[in-house]
Amino acid sequence: MISSRFPISLHILTLLDDANGAVVSSDYLAGSININPVLVRKEIMNLRKHGFVDSKEGKGGGSFLAKSASDINLGDVYKSLRNQNILGQSKNEPNPKCPIGKQINQHLNTLYSDAENALVDNLSKQSLADFASKFK
Amino acid sequence: MISSRFPISLHILTLLDDANGAVVSSDYLAGSININPVLVRKEIMNLRKHGFVDSKEGKGGGSFLAKSASDINLGDVYKSLRNQNILGQSKNEPNPKCPIGKQINQHLNTLYSDAENALVDNLSKQSLADFASKFK
DNA sequence: TCATTCTGTAATTATTTTTATTACAGTACA
DNA sequence: TGTACTGTAATAAAAATAATTACAGAATGA
């Protein structure tokens, strides 16, 4: 299943788009998503690192989109969440003495990265603006 | 990340293909995958339910492919693992008082099922025979 | 026929991953 | 200079996964 971080990130971005440039606090975001504010701040940290949002510290601070919603594409958001290669990464360690087990991870990884590319390509067809427009 | 059940199922199927019709015990499978035999038997139960494999009880028993490896396609294997719709299914319950939160799951689900279709279509390009041939 | 070697399956426990909570330093505003 | 935020670490709680134990039932073959 797509990491639950993806819906959180998308939710944040959608709310920020909805705020129309206004600064939004992590507490407000957490309230809408219904998760802990610290988790929100962690996701924002990632979104900021990837240039999707920016934040302002201190009183009256919060986050806002760092670029136009039409310049943020959902495939890129998805990709921003992977450490290396999200989808597969079999952490399982098959028996190296088995001729199949020995090489299966290598083949699985190829399979996964192809499949994941197809998924990302699909997500990339949509911008945050497209997605957010569904709420209007 | 794709459920870790997918690699397990694929591993099982690949080993059964490799066995060339011979009956393979869940202990042997578990040994190659390096997981608990009971987990293997559970996956086999699912694979059997979907007609990919069949099993023989009792002494000398085990599992074997129920159809030709070229008639088993990886997209179908993937699909056999989902309860309803694997990928997304935001279990998160956003705040219903928030105009965005209220409807986001509905939009996420659409997004997910499109993306998942793209992924499954990609996997469907490959049969078990194609996959297994990489090991030779 | 009966000991043996399997499967099927439930119940329980252990482990890992995910999420929430607490805490507090630092920043900016008024 | 108090207040309302962010940033971040550390810890605890909860949930999801996986392993283990256990045992009934099926098929085989000595």
Q: Which phi and psi angles does A56 have, rounded to 5°?
A: -125, 125
Q: How far apart are CA A16 and CA B15, in angstroms?
A: 49
Protein-to-nucleotide distance from the CA of A38 to the C1' of C24, whole angstroms: 14
Q: Is the pTM above the cut of 0.95?
A: no
Residue B31 to residues A15, A81, B60, B71: CA-CA distances in angstroms?
Answer: 49, 33, 17, 27
Mean confidence (pLDDT) of chain B: 91
Which of B28, B20, B72 is closest to B47 using CA atoms?
B72
**What are the domain boundaries of chain A?**
5-135
Q: Which nucleotide is nearest to B38 (CA to C1')?
A: D19
List A53's β-bridge partners, or say none. A65
Q: Are the beta carbons of A14 and B86 separated by less than 8 Å?
A: no
Protein CA at A73 to nucleotide C1' at D26, angstroms: 57
Reported as a single tens digit per residue, the pLDDT across B53-100 is 999 999 999 999 999 999 999 999 999 998 644 444 456 788 888 888
C3 C1' to B59 CA distance, Å: 11
pLDDT tens across A96-131, in order?
888 888 999 999 999 998 999 999 999 999 999 999
Q: Please judge whether A11 and B104 are an interchain contact, meaning their C-beta atoms are less than 8 angstroms apart.
A: yes
B94 and A34 in contact by Cβ < 8 A? yes
CATH level 3 topology of B5-135:
Arc Repressor Mutant, subunit A (1.10.10)
Pick from B122, B127, B136 the residue to mutate for testing the A interface (most A CBs within 10 Å). B122
